[in-house]
Amino acid sequence: MFYGLSLLMAVVLGFVLATPSEFLTFLVVAAVLMMLFTPLLLRWHHALLIFSIKATLMIFFLPGQPYLWMLMAVLSFGFAVLRRALEKESTYLHVPPVAYALIALTLVVLITAKLTGGIGFRVLGSGVYGGKRYYTTLAAVLVYFALVSQRIPASRAGFFVGIFFLSELTALFSNVAYLLGPKYWFLYAIFPPDLAMHQAASDYILTETHFVRVTGLSWAGHAVFCYMLARYGAKEVFGHPWRLLFILVVMGLTLLGGFRTYVILFGLILLIQFKLERLYRSKIFLIFVVVTALTAMVVLPNVQRLPLAVQRSLSIIPGLKVAPAAAFNAQTSSEWRLSMWKLLLAELPNHLLLGKGYAVDPTEMYLMEQSVLRGLAPTYEFALIAGDYHNGPLSVIVPFGIWGAAAFLWFCIAGLWVLYKNWKNGPAELKLINTFFLAYFTARVIFFMVFFGTLNGDLVVFTAILGLNISLNGGVCREPVKQMASVETTPLEEQTPPAALPAPANP
């Protein structure tokens, strides 16, 4: 029987491989590979999901070229549901405040999609665009439920935190592929070319001849920065000379991307991390202040000698005189956003009860694109049509109204509560990790609300941080976890009260 099925599969594969460039060929080959790798996925889907969340890897043979984490979110969630149905003892870690908030947000998204044109995918020939944003948002919700489907042992916490953050180093491959030349551009089938667009602009746009922005370095620097603080904590990083030097170099390389946002984000993370570790009155904080002051004394007076991308990143510092090209580029970007937000705020009351959704009329998008190219409309008009608001609260309220905003705010508050409880009461061996997760989540929420964010892009970061933290701690540590010498204590979402324990038998 198996021999006959193998022959049949060989015949089918031989038939479809006769036309290797057809989409059906990729689909059939992917289905066959999926069947062959199912045993591995059943065993490692949780770890693969954690790795894929921050990895910049695309699936080139699927419509729309989704990121790997989007596919793994669906597969891992499916395997988790199957496992829960087959096993008598469920390993699912249920945290009601977070779960119900995400379910409420999902309902708002689906109802809004139904009432505002549906979910249409451009790559599938739909007359309505915007389906990928719906899918990204819903996949981010699945990431949380897939992560909390099983517990991660405390002994492997360092490994999983490492692959979660350091997988973002794959962003470098996009810039490396462009640097190596056209012979290596086939790598863009796997690594997104968007990360190399600023780099390419420096070669082909006359006004940016020397304005080289390496986006991959910013992403990679962010990955290493987060991993070091999660692995060692601020005390060990800034109290150790070589680690201090290394993280300063990493932060400097991050500035080569030209993003002012990383300066703000790093500052928020460090301030919260120092507060949580109670280092503001310690020698470590004094070292941090002295190093920061010395670095500023050396760098700021010579800032115009630095690459323009670095100057653009540092232009966020008030009163700092950077090169005119960097200052103009940063100022133009800020004015572009402010003009768009001013126009959007005037339309905001129309979207409070029923959001705009993500559906986009392709004809309207085409006409606006042509108007922008001909100089008949400002460039932010096209961003308004496409839904790229470059603002966290607006990216929630405009598409999904006050109902989506309420559900998202509920989720953020519930997430902060979970992370605070696990930081305060979690196991001692997870103290550094829980501290950084709380600092990172808090900083990202503040950054999303005040500076920059997009719901469909940032939601997966929030759900992943929460899901991974709950998986590591075994739920919510409502009470301090008692450390035992020989038995590893597992904190549960619902702990058994002492009164319910059976009384010891009399000797």
All residues at 6 or more sequence positions from 49 whose CB lies less than 8 Å from its CB, including other chains: 69, 72, 73, 75, 76, 143, 146, 147
For residue 172, which of 228, 222, 210, 231 has the smallest C-alpha distance? 222
SS3 131: helix
Task: Please list, residue by residue across 24-47, b when 16 or more beta carbons sit within 10 angstroms of its beta carbon and e when fewer do.
Answer: ebbebeeeeeeeeeeeebeeebbb
Residue with tokens 């570790």: 277
For residue 391, which of 424, 425, 342 has the smallest C-alpha distance? 342
130 vs 124, 141, 300, CA distance in Å? 12, 18, 44
pTM: 0.85
Distance, in Å, from the CA atom of 328 to the CA atom of 323, rounded to the nearest integer, reads 9
Distance of CA 17 to the CA centre of its chain: 36
Q: How many CB atoms lie within 10 A of CB 206?
A: 5
Contact 121, 362 (CB under 8 A): no
Contact 87, 150 (CB under 8 A): no
Share in percent of the chain as helix, strand, coil (round to 5) = 75, 0, 25
Pair of tokens at residue 371? 């108007």
Return the amino acid letter for 163: I
Pair of tokens at residue 364? 């309207």
Contact 278, 234 (CB under 8 A): no
Q: Could you give the angle at which helices 131-147 and 38-52 cross, rounded to 10 degrees?
A: 100
Residue by residue, pLDDT tens for the chain (507 residues) are 545 555 555 555 565 555 555 556 666 666 666 666 677 777 788 889 999 999 998 887 777 778 888 888 998 888 888 877 777 676 778 889 999 999 999 999 999 988 887 776 666 666 667 778 888 899 999 999 999 988 888 889 889 999 999 999 999 999 898 888 888 888 888 888 888 887 777 767 655 446 778 888 899 999 999 999 999 988 888 888 888 889 889 988 898 888 888 989 999 999 999 989 888 778 888 888 888 888 888 888 888 888 888 888 888 888 788 888 888 888 888 888 888 888 888 888 888 888 888 877 777 777 777 777 777 777 777 777 777 788 889 889 988 989 999 999 999 999 999 999 999 988 888 899 999 999 999 999 999 999 888 888 899 999 999 999 999 998 888 877 665 433 444 444 444 444 444 444 433
Pair of tokens at residue 44? 């490692």
For residue 271, which of 229, 313, 314 has the smallest C-alpha distance? 229
282 vs 273, 275, 277, 295, CA distance in Å? 13, 11, 10, 20
Pair of tokens at residue 81? 């549901």
Q: Is 446 exposed, middle or buried, given 0-12, 13-18 or 19+ CB atoms closer than 10 A?
A: middle
Residue with tokens 């601020």: 234
For residue 452, which of 220, 256, 265 has the smallest C-alpha distance? 265
SS3 58: strand
